[in-house]
Structure 1
């Protein structure tokens, strides 16, 4: 049975906006189901972001291959099951055209989430990111759809250059600037590698910047990013990968040694009753 949700979508949306307007950076972790969302709420986080990777893993699928109906069922369950504001990972908007992207924003809003991200990745190897003009028009359509809603939907625009192996900082910044002009509320370039790159992105924009923490080879901390002027910090699929890693270690011990020392690191039954009681 889902827990009663006492906050309206408008109240959540306003709370989410206020986090972006407040002093300093805030962390927005990425649960992959209702249980992990409630655990993060219990731990005191103020907002959540969905993760396409985590959701895909929970269904035994590759990232970005989950059917759209399952994505929106997942978002509805999390939005209805927690009082925290949630922003949705909407991939590339489930289509190439600006119209498809605008429709994705409206459908996401119907689930109860109060924000969403649109990326400029095509999912195609021959042309991994959209041309900047088309990418900007897609964000413009998303912003128009968000602006038509009865609550402040926070639109995040993602430049995916680094994710697809195009480590071109100048082009990444140019894209983020174009998406800012197109109406995005938050700018995000996952995969930035060091403090110098993060600082350059922050200096080049006048909207809140989201930075991905937890990527392999990146040693920056929340404190480091706060000092660099980053407003929002997410962790993508890293919590899901951490959970899967621990599950595999435990299952491998059980198979190979026939022992269960992994229980020494496990949550207790009392803790679980406290979290979900």
Structure 2
């Protein structure tokens, strides 16, 4: 286990509910440097933000391009980087782990939606996938297991079962993306692991999500979108100069 992996794992534990781990999402080397320079202890790339920066839709970035983008980000900063790698691109577990660690990233999101069909993967099948990734990585990789139950219209009971299975498979954290905040505490209890919540900046602050049961806060492509929105007025100013 590298020092960066150990740091990332440690950052998820012993936190006060008012102080969840806030991991902003860089989309390229420049944004990663800016966020690290601002004092964030770790970063988490969003697949949608990286895709937008490459000019394609989320889910359409080829694996080679995503790994290359993650490598540029990881090389640019001295802090741990976790990478959103969708469903793993269909790669065998050992190859997936090898390619990810070669980028310099020390963590990953793996989702349980099949990119090809848009449907939830069977919970036990996904647990087996996570167990294979854990076996290939040992303790060298922090695995954030995304739970897409609510996103795909499945009930809370499905999310709780997935949380239990993914924890047993060796996940370090679970990520019930877009789940109602009322689910967070129960999912954390079911998994016995830190819980990642997505902050969209409209209803709840990171501290509020922490008090509701989240240990880790990420933002998806939110920072990329805010940055592009801020660029608009600058472009208008330059065009009128």
Higher radius of gyration, 1 or 2: 1
The answer to which structure, 1 or 2, has the higher relative contact order (CA under 8 A, 6+ apart) is 2
In the alignment, the residues of structure 2 paired with residue 250 and residue 207 of structure 1 have an alpha-carbon distance, to the nearest angstrom, of 43
Alignment of 1:54-203 (within 5 A): 54-95=49-90, 100-125=92-117, 128-147=119-138, 152-163=140-151, 165-194=152-181, 196-203=182-189
> Are 2:164 and 2:191, in contact at CA under 8 Å, matched by a contact in 1?
yes
Residue of 31, 44, 49 corresponding to 2:39:
44
> Are 2:194 and 2:214, in contact at CA under 8 Å, matched by a contact in 1?
yes
> Are 2:184 and 2:195, in contact at CA under 8 Å, matched by a contact in 1?
no
> Are 1:158 and 1:176, in contact at CA under 8 Å, matched by a contact in 2?
no
Matched residue pairs, number?
A: 238
Instruction: Give TM-score, length-normalised by structure 1.
Output: 0.79
Residue of 193, 197, 210 corresponding to 1:207:
193
In the alignment, the residues of structure 1 paired with residue 102 and residue 157 of structure 2 have an alpha-carbon distance, to the nearest angstrom, of 36
C-alpha distance after superposition, 1:116-175 (max 9, x if no partner): 1111111244x611111211111111111121xxx6311111111233x41521111211
Superposition deviation, residue 100 in structure 1: 2.1
The answer as to 2:230 corresponding to 1:230 is no
Gaps of 5+ in 2: none
In the alignment, the residues of structure 1 paired with residue 110 and residue 133 of structure 2 have an alpha-carbon distance, to the nearest angstrom, of 8
Q: Describe the shift of the 1:248–1:170 C-alpha distance in structure 2 as closer, same or farther (beyond 3 A).
A: farther
CA RMSD of aligned residues (A): 2.1
In the alignment, the residues of structure 2 paired with residue 102 and residue 177 of structure 1 have an alpha-carbon distance, to the nearest angstrom, of 24
Gaps of 5+ in 1: 1-8, 261-277
